[in-house]
Structure 1
């Protein structure tokens, strides 16, 4: 991908309106003169419904500077994966595995999603676009998608296939670099102001930080409009519902340093470029949608010297309810947060030291290391 291109990934719990807000952002950028592609990586493709036009696998221009495409992961798998699978099968058979074993080993989980991510990168690198806005699937699917380059790369590395899959490993490395580059890639989490949705959003923030992927904004969608001057039972319901939403967002504001943009629920669905542009005006006001609002992702690991040893900080946005588990696996630290696990290589300085204490705090996890054998 050209270094001047930006990649904006929109995700959120199913049904929160991420597709509409991704499309609105793209429409606003196009009105501002940016060449932008909005691509759907969500299996439940609905960009065509939002724009009110047919959308296919190849980018098509729906307005000046605005292009739309669906990423057909199944079609990509049918066209591309067989060649990769054949190469892997030959390499595995060369290691003495039977044809059956080789075939079983080369049916990797998540291939469809990995190819979808690859296609997004391809479209971005080969097209004239300055920005690629991606309508991702729901958060659980998106987290799995963003973890795949590292997971599959590690899988291939453990197989020790040498030069047979060097091109594939190189490609996965490039995808990893793209995803963790905060100047080029960021995620915008869409939510509705409900406690269950906000709880999932907080878990997603921690999971993305664990992957080293930047989140630059939260978008609270479908706020009930103010009804201060209205009368009657309906107005009373609206005021009560809005008060509940404001309370939830106030708690969210106090628990994150990220900006939380707010969008009022509209009476009619925004369909088409004009309606989406109007929605984007509510979302961004006079701000530039490309402005980097959120803080850059802090280094996942940082070391400080303390009396008698070292303190390793793992920068994660944890909450009181976060489920955290740590384990030492050789020279790696296995970190699991709310079910999301990642192996992180320990700095060389700490590999011959023992973990003596671990606490959670506002800055994440703090681990105390002291001289001694490996714990």
Structure 2
């Protein structure tokens, strides 16, 4: 299992430069590092001084790098789909469609990138994987996919089972599945086809919320727009359970008010790579694992006091909407929505109140 890191900031703040410096730092510390860059333009190769391709290539000892190419990843994923189809269906019908024919639809990039990260992580070839996305908001949506997709499967499966259509069709699904598919789906047929997917989604969700598995860092400059964007990304990251380890400042120093607005995150100012070279930036970067381990947790539950604390910096109570649906609480903040599945001890209990306290939304249950 690798530690997956990403760097979030407003466009032009130097996130790619920081990601490269971090990759060099970790590789020189003896860790096996994979740097995945989503930008397919020549710019990253110019920064690295070496060409990049669609497959990991070793740039220096312990450091591999690649440019994420959606079309190539789509072709690989399509081959996997066809393999699964041949495994479960007696007469596969996708075999006549080839991955080379497929075009990348809008929104596919994030799902393909997430799947690629999952595969590289599972390979056990790397200790650290650094993902440099082309857009910070898209990166957050990508990392939030496991939780969101798991909610859709969980929610609509229940809706279907409780509907008249579900009750009418259920007696016929098992014999029909046995006749069409090459495997026996005994028990609840609706659980079987989604079981493997649910397991992968749960693994992904747990990884994103575990700072020893996935962590992010904010990258900003002292300009007002960059600081405001970084603070927004900080709050949005909490909505997917992603730990933000600290703030990395490019092109100058934050003033006192700006620095205070990121408290309690640790902050460091990075020297300009163009002026002082890679070595100075590498030396200035902190150990990401240590910073992530000490960062505030997005969610904490106190079952004894029947409270849930959500860390929501950069948002105030007027920007947050709270709704309860059965065993879940939906929290809307900014452009992010999270469906928080409550622990069993709190399921069935109604929300008694909610208040902001030291950048936390504290929800109490009766």
TM-score normalised by length of structure 1: 0.74
- How many Å apart are 1:294 and its aligned residue? 5.7
CA distance in 2, matches of 1:45, 1:167: 38
CA distance in 1, matches of 2:348, 2:201: 31
Cα root mean square deviation, aligned: 3.1
Which residues in structure 2 correspond to 1:164-203 (within 5 Å)?
164-203=193-232
Structure 2 unaligned residues grouped into runs of 5+: 89-103, 158-189
Which deviates the most, 317-326 or 20-29? Answer: 317-326
Asked if structure 1 preserves the Cα contact closer than 8 Å seen for 2:307 and 2:364, the reply is yes
- Secondary structure, counterpart of 1:27 in structure 2: helix
Deviation digits for residues 288-337 of structure 1 (CA, Å, limit 9, x no counterpart): 4543356244361423767xxx5443333244487111112232211011
Matched, 1:316 2:312: yes
Q: Equivalent residue for 1:230?
A: none
Q: Equivalent residue for 1:246?
A: 254
Asked if structure 1 preserves the Cα contact closer than 8 Å seen for 2:146 and 2:205, the reply is yes
Q: Equivalent residue for 1:357?
A: 353
Cα gap change, 1:194 to 1:62, in 2 (>3 Å): same
Matched, 1:207 2:239: no
Cα gap change, 1:8 to 1:299, in 2 (>3 Å): closer
CA distance in 2, matches of 1:119, 1:257: 33
- How many Å apart are 1:26 and its aligned residue? 1.1
- Secondary structure, counterpart of 2:54 in structure 1: coil
Asked if structure 1 preserves the Cα contact closer than 8 Å seen for 2:36 and 2:67, the reply is yes
Asked if structure 1 preserves the Cα contact closer than 8 Å seen for 2:7 and 2:15, the reply is yes
Asked if structure 2 preserves the Cα contact closer than 8 Å seen for 1:192 and 1:220, the reply is yes
- How many Å apart are 1:20 and its aligned residue? 0.7
Deviation digits for residues 213-272 of structure 1 (CA, Å, limit 9, x no counterpart): 11112111111xxxxxxxxxxxxxxxxxxxxx532x54333542111111244554x8xx
Q: Equivalent residue for 1:295?
A: 294
Which residues in structure 2 correspond to 1:269-348 (within 5 Å)?
275-281=277-283, 283-284=284-285, 288=287, 290-292=289-291, 295-298=294-297, 300-303=299-302, 310-320=306-316, 323-348=319-344
Deviation digits for residues 103-136 of structure 1 (CA, Å, limit 9, x no counterpart): xxxx998443122112123223325322222212
Q: Equivalent residue for 1:151?
A: 148
Cα gap change, 1:83 to 1:109, in 2 (>3 Å): farther
Q: How many residues align structurally?
A: 318
CA distance in 2, matches of 1:346, 1:129: 34
Which deviates the most, 209-218 or 320-329? Answer: 320-329
Asked if structure 2 preserves the Cα contact closer than 8 Å seen for 1:259 and 1:293, the reply is no
CA distance in 2, matches of 1:67, 1:305: 47
Matched, 1:55 2:52: yes
Q: Equivalent residue for 2:10?
A: 13
Which deviates the most, 53-62 or 73-82? Answer: 73-82
Asked if structure 2 preserves the Cα contact closer than 8 Å seen for 1:253 and 1:260, the reply is no
- Secondary structure, counterpart of 1:121 in structure 2: helix
Structure 1 unaligned residues grouped into runs of 5+: 92-106, 224-244, 371-375
Q: Equivalent residue for 1:94?
A: none
